[in-house]
């Protein structure tokens, strides 16, 4: 069976690379992305909490503590949370929504711009502090016997500080929103045309049934065609990543669109760490196997090329919809159960890697679930392949 597998795989790959359309399709991202980001670069030259917002409160003196209590006493706005690791690390990981620092009357509200909930909730806290500083609150402060030595030194202008201004590895919200979406769409659509030709195309020509009448193992036939489609899908992914790098190298101003630094240069193109690269490759490979399994299932089930193309269109539509959902998703509060949803779990995993909030359990759930769904599809494909009635229509 192994010899049959190698022989068929070589034949399929040879036929694929003889087709100029396949070559053009593979290299479209390498040509298109640099042009797209050049244009964009030149043009640039969740449920929200209103109370019990989990925050770390850091008061340096007793007077600062009295000031904090006077501001938020009786509001149920803040739920104080103990520091687990480091206050900024806790904020980055989503354990808290913000940090309220009071140092000799100077108030700083630290938030994480990568979290929608943090932005909204911290805005409410910001408004509360600004209102407190108005003269409307002075009479109530007299009634509460607040330490006016702390009040006199109150220094707050409504400014809020993002976590990225304190620690540098908070990730990139723009990059985390767009890059995973485009990468997953390439993975899901990279091998569609090849899958249609290898199954529905050959059935329409009558060559597929001829192969089934030979001594070639049907399992070897399925595995060879599956491997050929997977190779094309992975090549499409790798070339797309290369296109991103080329885009940013040729036009660093496009990188500014993601980093928020419109004066970005090539030195600002930071490469993520090796563990993060491996995490991204792992979830992308698992999604590629799942995507090719779906394409194979559609190709075997479809009787004509037109039918296969119609059904395959959903492979690109669904990732687009799921990608749109993740753009507004709070990556710090993704549930374990949601990581069992195919495509969504890969987009979410890549996004969390970019933001630096990834959890090993989420990577495992994403990878294992995609491979498990692929196993189910493979079982169905083998059954259909052994069904002469289905294959002959």
1-50 residue pLDDT tens: 778 888 888 888 888 888 777 777 777 766 776 676 666 555 544 445 66
Instruction: Tell me the average pLDDT of the chain.
Output: 75
Q: What is the pLDDT of residue 40?
A: 59
Whether the CB-CB separation of 357 and 93 falls below 8 Å is answered with yes
> Across residues 351-355, what is the average pLDDT?
78
| Residues ≥6 apart with Cβ < 8 Å to 142 | none
Q: pLDDT: is 294 or 190 the higher one?
A: 294
Provide the CA 341 distance to its chain's centre, in angstroms.
13
Whether the CB-CB separation of 129 and 111 falls below 8 Å is answered with no
- Cβ count near 382 (within 10 Å): 14
CATH for 53-165 is: 3.40.1710
Q: Which helix (H) or strand (E) holds 43?
A: helix 20-44
Q: Which helix (H) or strand (E) holds 98?
A: strand 98-103
- Cβ count near 17 (within 10 Å): 12
pLDDT at 366 exceeding the cut of 90: yes
pLDDT, tens digit (0-9, with 9 covering 90-100), for 109-121: 888 777 656 766 7
- pLDDT band for 367, please (50, 70, 90 cuts): very high
- pLDDT band for 251, please (50, 70, 90 cuts): low
pLDDT, tens digit (0-9, with 9 covering 90-100), for 272-328: 577 877 888 899 999 999 999 998 898 888 878 888 888 877 777 777 777 666 666
Per-residue three-class SS string for 287-355? HHHHHHHHHHHHHHHCCCHHHHHHHHHHHHHHHHHHHHHHHCCCHHHCCCHHHHCCCHHHHHHHHHHHH
Unique residue bearing structure tokens 């402060």: 141
Query: What is the DSSP secondary-structure string of 363-382?
Result: HHHHHHHHHHHHHHHHHHHH
- Please give the model's pTM, rounded to 2 decimal places: 0.64
Q: pLDDT: is 387 or 197 the higher one?
A: 197
Domain coordinates of the chain in residue numbers?
A: 2-44+171-391, 53-165
Q: What is the largest CA-CA distance in the chain?
A: 95
> Across residues 39-62, what is the average pLDDT?
72
pLDDT at 122 exceeding the cut of 80: no
Q: What is the pLDDT of residue 334?
A: 79
d(Cα 250, Cα 231) in Å, to the nearest integer? 28
pLDDT, tens digit (0-9, with 9 covering 90-100), for 192-233: 888 888 888 887 877 777 777 777 788 888 899 999 999 988
């Amino acid at each position: 069976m192994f010899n049959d597998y190698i022989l068929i795989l070589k034949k399929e790959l040879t036929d694929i690379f003889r087709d100029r359309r396949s070559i053009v399709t593979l290299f479209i991202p390498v040509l298109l992305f640099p042009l797209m980001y050049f244009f964009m670069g030149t043009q640039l030259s969740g449920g929200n909490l209103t109370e019990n917002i989990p925050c770390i409160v850091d008061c340096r003196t007793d007077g600062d503590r009295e000031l904090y209590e006077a501001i938020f006493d009786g509001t149920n706005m803040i739920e104080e949370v103990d520091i687990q690791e480091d206050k900024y690390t806790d904020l980055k990981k989503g354990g808290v929504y913000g940090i309220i620092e009071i140092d000799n009357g100077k108030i700083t509200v630290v938030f994480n711009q990568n979290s929608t909930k943090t932005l909204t909730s911290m805005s409410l806290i910001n408004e509360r502090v600004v209102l407190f500083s108005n003269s409307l609150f002075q009479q109530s402060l007299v009634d509460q016997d607040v330490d006016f030595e702390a009040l006199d030194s109150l220094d707050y202008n409504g400014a809020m500080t993002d976590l990225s201004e304190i620690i540098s590895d908070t990730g990139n919200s723009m990059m985390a929103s767009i890059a995973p979406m485009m990468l997953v769409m390439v993975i899901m659509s990279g091998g569609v045309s090849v899958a249609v030709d290898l199954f529905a195309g050959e059935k329409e020509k009558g060559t597929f049934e001829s192969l089934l009448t030979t001594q070639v193992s049907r399992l070897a036939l399925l595995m060879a065609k599956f491997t050929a489609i997977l190779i094309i899908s992975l090549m499409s992914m790798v070339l797309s990543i290369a296109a991103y790098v080329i885009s940013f190298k040729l036009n660093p101003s496009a990188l500014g669109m993601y980093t928020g630094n419109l004066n970005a240069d090539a030195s600002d193109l930071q490469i993520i760490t090796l563990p993060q690269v491996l995490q991204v490759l792992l979830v992308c490979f698992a999604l590629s196997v799942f995507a090719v399994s779906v394409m194979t299932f559609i190709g075997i089930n479809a009787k004509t090329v037109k039918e296969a193309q119609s059904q395959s269109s959903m492979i690109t539509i669904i990732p687009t919809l799921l990608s749109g959902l993740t753009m507004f998703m709070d990556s710090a509060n993704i549930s374990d159960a949601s990581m069992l949803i195919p495509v969504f779990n890969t987009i979410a995993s890549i996004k969390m890697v970019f933001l630096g909030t990834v959890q090993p359990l989420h990577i495992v759930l994403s990878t294992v679930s995609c491979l498990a769904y692929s196993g189910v599809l493979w079982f169905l494909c083998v059954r259909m392949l052994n069904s002469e009635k289905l294959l002959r229509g």
